[in-house]
Structure 1
Amino acid sequence: MTTILEYLQNLANQFLAFLPRLGIGILIVILTWILSRWISRLIRRSMKRAGRDPELIVLLSMLARWGILTLGIVIAAEITAEGALGSLIAGLGIAGFTIGFALQDVAKNFVAGILLLLQQPFEIGDHIEVAGHAGHVRVITLRTTEIRTLDGRFVLIPNGDVFTSAIVNFSRADRRRVELKIGVAVDSNLDQVTRVALGAIVPIDGVTEDPSPRVAFGNFGESTIDFTLHYWIDTSVTDVIVAQDAGVKAIKLAFEREAIVMPYPTRTVLTLQEDG
């Protein structure tokens, strides 16, 4: 009985001696959590005032926040249980393979997010196409990239997929080429078609003079001679959809005015009638 009481008393003494260290450890974690959020907001505000890239702001603020919080947890663990840090590192070495295998996708997306923020193949607001999705970039985090597609959907793409996929950044092109495929009647004057088509396209807002618009006749259709009208646009003035819409309307009006026919597909049917 005496032995049990001594054991309980010893256990209680150890617990009471441990409580101050536990309280200090919890306090350190709370303070570092508050400090990490404050430093993160401070970095965001100061870098925004300095006009830094949004992607760089996201990266530095996240690294500062998680770095400070991790440091606080390590210090708290060492104070709470002296010598526990070495044991923890040894334990992580044993369990690291299992944890790494289980979290390989998370780690891959995390590393890919950092690389994307450093390399900056696109910026927030850019119009891109990646991993089968096209739209404008809204948010870049350390795990996912969020884009808003042209039809209004919000798509979260894992950064690992973004980093390993081909990225088309439409916003970085100051000029883009528009193509209109058109067919005219086989008896049309092709020189006149070329002159009228080019004259209709040149006045459109955003169409560049260099490279200049051009017409290339390609092949004979069933009832047409087909050609492609190429013209380049300045993306700071207009976009592809608007320029394509304006081009179709301008060509139709110009061809109607000049009596240039764009025929429907036609087919001639011959009927043979036997005598008697």
Structure 2
Amino acid sequence: MNTMIAGRLLASLLLGTTLFSSALAIQVPLEAAQASPPAVTEEEVPPIEKELRATFAEVAAFDSIEVKVRHGVVELGGTVPNAEAREEAGRVAGSFEGVRYVENLVKLASVEHEEGAKPPADGPPPTEESDDGISNEDRRIQGRLQSVFDRVDELDEVKVDVAGGVVHLTGTVFDSAARTQAADLAKSIDGVLLVDNDTQEATRLKDRLLPNVERFSSKVRGFIATLPLLVVALLLIWAFSRLAGRVAGSQRLFRRLSGNALIQSLVRQVVKAAIVITGVFFALELLGATALVGAVLGSVGVVSLALGLAFRDLAENYLASIILSIRQPFRTKDVVEIDGMLGKVIRMTTRETVLMSFDGNHMLLPNSTVFKSKVTNFTRSDNRRFSFGVGFGTDVDLRAAIELGLEQIRAIPGVLSEPAPNAWIEALGDSSVLVNFAGWVNQRESDFTKVQSEAIRTVKEAMDDHEFDMPAPTYEVHLTGGGATSPVGTTGTSPKPAKSAKPSRIPVEAADVSVDTTLDEAVDHDLRHGDEEDLLTEEKSQAPSA
């Protein structure tokens, strides 16, 4: 019961975490646009660049366009047949998600042809300069960078000066990440030789507070805009949860799978969890936050590993409960001996096996201990053999003594004629011979302990009546002192006292060997008033005693 509650709490925690994360996941594209872009190696081609190239390759008018993408800035080169195609190429590039700025350097094919027809001049082309002494190349770099910075909220305060390919950045930025981002964008522009980054992080309250307020406001607006989708996602999860509850509550479906209560419960929980997880996945897909699934599953795996190590004993007990409930080595009211503890089985829970000793005490054994220990079930078979030993003097006629003992055992009510009682000589001692007597009892019809006790009583009385010597141990004691040694004890059979009148004997036929139900009644009382789940099957054994 506690395990099921813990499982439900863990599932509720996981579901709540997923919903909260999905509500914020819709802001990931905005935050990604504002975050510092990773450095791109020469071998790595950004996905936007691949998609743009593939898109332009499918249009005949755009198949000569060259594409370069650096940190969200798209540079288009090459030629197109007309001005309309040039403008359309710029619009297509700007429509891709993640594009911050498009530098459209596409030329018309006719202009390119005319420029290519001019004869080349001898020597390198001269550097063109404007009236203010700034080269056209520096002016191009400055204009392009300033245009990019003006479109990025964190960089709109940055000023750009370019001289001889050296870019000088000044102004204020929000934090160190924005400062690094400005330098990376400047380095990504063709023709830049060096970047001198003199930007400063904002320290005024206004400069630090307003960007955070704007970000928070943007998140709130985005959350409000996605509220309808969030409501639909919650309704979807609710519908799948109701479906999971109905499927898990179908008793007939899971009874066909297995008759074991624990296995039914496990399969029911697995099916229920699978249906709920499917609903959560669809909801995340609707919110566009399926990327959270991998992160959530990874977190769940780490948490599960940590919990498994922390609660290893509980997990071991639970797994042992599953195996024991499948194997069913005993049932309720069976007389068993486990790890040296003898008693009647009351119940088996997901944590422990409960026994009742023959003194009426409860004994709790962890299921992991039960699984690892030797289990002796005295009740699984209807017939059970009892045996006891009798010591005779060395001068006794053993054949006559054995026959007399077997005759007495056969006459006891409850002793089976088949298998028949038997006896054998067990050992030869210093002053006696040990003979074992045995007989079989049907535990469903007679009380095992009572029959064994009656057998011992009748055999002992019969041996006494027929004067078979059953000697007690004797010892030889020597007293040493100043005088001569005098033995005061001897070994062997002590002198027999004078015979006394024989006591009255209880007839064997009058012996009470009926089944004792006292312990069974105590077990039934415990089962009726206990609220713990019993993993043992309903089929119960009926032998009450050991």
Fold-level similarity (TM above 0.5): yes
Q: Does 1:110 align with 2:318?
A: yes
Distance 2:429 2:464 in 1: 21
Larger radius of gyration: 2
Distance 2:403 2:275 in 1: 74
Q: Give yes or no for contact 1:177–1:232 (8 Å, CA) kept in 2.
A: yes
What's the CA shift string for 1:117-172, capped at 9, x where partnerless?
Answer: 22222223322222332222222233332222333232332322222222222212
Aligned-partner residue type, residue 89 of structure 1: L
Aligned-partner residue type, residue 277 of structure 2: V
Q: Does 1:216 align with 2:435?
A: no
In terms of mean alpha carbon deviation, does 16-25 or 190-199 score higher? 16-25
Pick one of 64, 71, 74 that aligns with 2:277. 74
Tell me how far 1:180 sits from its aligned partner: 0.9
What's the CA shift string for 1:215-258, capped at 9, x where partnerless?
Answer: 22233445433211122222333344222211111112322332
Unpaired runs of 5+ residues, structure 1, are none
What's the CA shift string for 1:73-103, capped at 9, x where partnerless?
Answer: 5356446755344332122344454333333
Q: Does 1:63 align with 2:266?
A: yes
Which residue in 2 is equivalent to 1:11? 220
Q: Does 1:260 align with 2:468?
A: yes
Q: Give yes or no for contact 2:424–2:437 (8 Å, CA) kept in 1.
A: yes
Distance 1:176 1:117 in 2: 25
Which residue in 1 is equivalent to 2:375? 167
Tell me how far 1:200 sits from its aligned partner: 0.8
Q: Does 1:233 align with 2:445?
A: no
Distance 1:100 1:224 in 2: 61
Q: Give yes or no for contact 2:244–2:276 (8 Å, CA) kept in 1.
A: no
RMSD between superposed Cα atoms in Å: 3.8
Distance 2:436 2:355 in 1: 33
Distance 2:377 2:370 in 1: 12
Which residue in 2 is equivalent to 1:127? 335
Which residue in 1 is equivalent to 2:182? none
Which residue in 2 is equivalent to 1:147? 355
SS in 2 for 1:209: coil
Q: Give yes or no for contact 1:24–1:76 (8 Å, CA) kept in 2.
A: no
Which residue in 2 is equivalent to 1:100? 308
Distance 2:243 2:413 in 1: 56
Aligned-partner residue type, residue 14 of structure 1: F
Distance 2:434 2:303 in 1: 67
Tell me how far 1:213 sits from its aligned partner: 1.8
Q: Give yes or no for contact 1:208–1:234 (8 Å, CA) kept in 2.
A: yes
Tell me how far 1:182 sits from its aligned partner: 0.8
Distance 1:111 1:64 in 2: 14
Unpaired runs of 5+ residues, structure 2, are 1-208, 486-546
SS in 2 for 1:163: helix
- % same residue: 23
Distance 1:29 1:145 in 2: 37
Aligned-partner residue type, residue 299 of structure 2: G
Kindly tell me: are residues 162 and 85 of structure 1, through their superposed partners in 2, closer, same or farther at Cα, counting changes over 3 Å?
Answer: farther
Q: Give yes or no for contact 1:56–1:118 (8 Å, CA) kept in 2.
A: no
Which residue in 1 is equivalent to 2:514? none
Distance 2:328 2:308 in 1: 27
Aligned-partner residue type, residue 329 of structure 2: P
SS in 2 for 1:137: strand
Aligned residues: 266
SS in 2 for 1:171: coil
Tell me how far 1:198 sits from its aligned partner: 0.5
What's the CA shift string for 1:16-62, capped at 9, x where partnerless?
Answer: 928746864885698579658854xx46xx96xx9xxxx94422442
- Give TM-score, length-normalised by structure 1: 0.74
SS in 1 for 2:379: helix
Which residue in 1 is equivalent to 2:506? none
SS in 2 for 1:226: strand
Aligned-partner residue type, residue 270 of structure 2: G
SS in 2 for 1:172: coil
Which residue in 1 is equivalent to 2:409? 201
What's the CA shift string for 1:192-231, capped at 9, x where partnerless?
Answer: 2112100111122332333322222233445433211122
Which residue in 2 is equivalent to 1:136? 344
- Give TM-score, length-normalised by structure 2: 0.41
Distance 1:29 1:147 in 2: 43
Which residue in 2 is equivalent to 1:178? 386
